[in-house]
């Protein structure tokens, strides 16, 4: 089972845990409805579509409202620490959470104590917490964009705000940033770097690069990096090996742009609506490639 832990940008949203369903352009978790915009809701919606493609159960979510002050994030942290033994997740994806090193380390200890710790995937704020704690290498997959990768590559930066200016976060510098992040043990076992070109890397090499198809307007849309992480998480949870899952997710995310034909004014929900079809098309293409 895939569990996604993150936040919703609504201070009045309570702590919720349970399976997530997609109804139109909204998520439904219990009696709660959440619009699919950017952030964790977009990640969850994409994971639902990929779970459907993989024939696996919908993801469960652990969410709380947080607009940047950290209260909701701490509720999520506390729930994870207190209930780690009962979550039932074999893949756990952490997303938009205020980075707090002490809480991060308590969660890591709770997960390490399990008989079968889940696959650990981190993006956004929780990825920052993992790096700041010094335990980035305890994770299986990070999914940074190039700006976030620059923070991972800066061994001296205690917080993303303090990433040193000479470490340039431009797409063409991604290979150098990847190498530097691994040199200082500030990266997970694998990196899925999101950008104009999507890269999949490990400590020893860049395994592949995907830069087509490309729909220019997607570069201006918020949430398309979240959908990529969501699909990869669900495909991994569905039993696909990590490299193949990330590759299919990267291809499908781009193909969704071709299918949805968004404009810069479009919302990420338009991409989510066509992800299942994009996964089918790209999955069939990969099968043909190996015949």
- The single-letter DSSP state of residue 5 is E
**pLDDT tens digits for range 71-104:** 999 999 999 999 999 999 999 999 999 999 999 9
pTM greater than 0.85: yes
Q: Which of 120-129, 161-170, 195-204, 253-262 has the lowest mean pLDDT?
A: 161-170
Q: What share of the chain has pLDDT > 90, as a percent?
A: 85
Q: Based on the number of CB atoms within 10 Å of its own CB, is 61 exposed (0-12), middle (13-18) or buried (19 or more)? A: buried
pLDDT tier at 290, thresholds 50, 70, 90: very low
> Which domains are present in the chain?
2-289 (3.40.1190.20)
Rg (CA), the chain: 18
**Residues 227, 181: Cα–Cα separation, whole Å:** 24
pLDDT tier at 169, thresholds 50, 70, 90: confident
Region 156-172 average pLDDT: 82
Q: Give yes or no for residue 248 having a pLDDT over 60.
A: yes
**pLDDT tens digits for range 112-144:** 999 999 999 999 999 999 999 999 999 999 999
**Residues 19, 28: Cα–Cα separation, whole Å:** 8
The predicted structure's pLDDT at residue 220: 65
- The single-letter DSSP state of residue 118 is P
* Extended beta strands in 196-289, E state: 198-202, 206-210
């Amino acid at each position: 089972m895939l569990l996604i832990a993150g936040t919703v940008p609504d201070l009045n949203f309570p702590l919720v845990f349970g399976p997530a369903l997609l109804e139109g352009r909204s998520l439904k978790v219990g009696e709660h409805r959440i619009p699919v915009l950017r952030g964790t809701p977009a990640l969850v919606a994409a994971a639902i579509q990929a779970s459907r493609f993989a024939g696996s159960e919908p993801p469960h979510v652990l969410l709380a409202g947080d607009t940047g002050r950290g209260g909701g994030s701490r509720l999520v942290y506390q729930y994870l620490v207190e209930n780690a033994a009962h979550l039932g997740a074999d893949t756990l994806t952490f997303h938009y959470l205020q980075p707090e090193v002490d809480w991060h380390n308590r969660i890591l200890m709770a997960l390490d104590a399990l008989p079968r710790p889940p696959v650990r995937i981190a993006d956004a704020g929780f990825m920052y917490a993992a790096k700041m704690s010094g335990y980035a290498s305890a994770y299986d997959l990070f999914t940074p964009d190039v700006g976030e990768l620059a923070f991972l590559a800066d061994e001296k930066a205690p917080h993303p705000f303090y990433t040193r200016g000479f470490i340039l976060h431009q797409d063409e510098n991604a290979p150098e940033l990847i190498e530097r992040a691994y040199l200082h043990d500030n990266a997970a076992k694998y990196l899925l770097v999101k950008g104009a070109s999507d890269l999949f890397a490990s400590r020893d090499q860049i395994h592949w690069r995907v830069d087509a198809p490309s729909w220019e307007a997607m570069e201006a849309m918020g949430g398309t990096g979240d959908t990529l992480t969501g699909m990869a998480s669900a495909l991994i949870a569905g039993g696909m090996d990590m490299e193949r899952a990330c590759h299919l997710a990267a291809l499908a995310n781009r193909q969704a742009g071709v299918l949805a034909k968004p404009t810069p004014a479009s919302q990420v929900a338009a991409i989510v609506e066509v992800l299942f079809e994009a996964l089918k098309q790209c999955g069939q293409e990969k099968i043909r490639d190996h015949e």
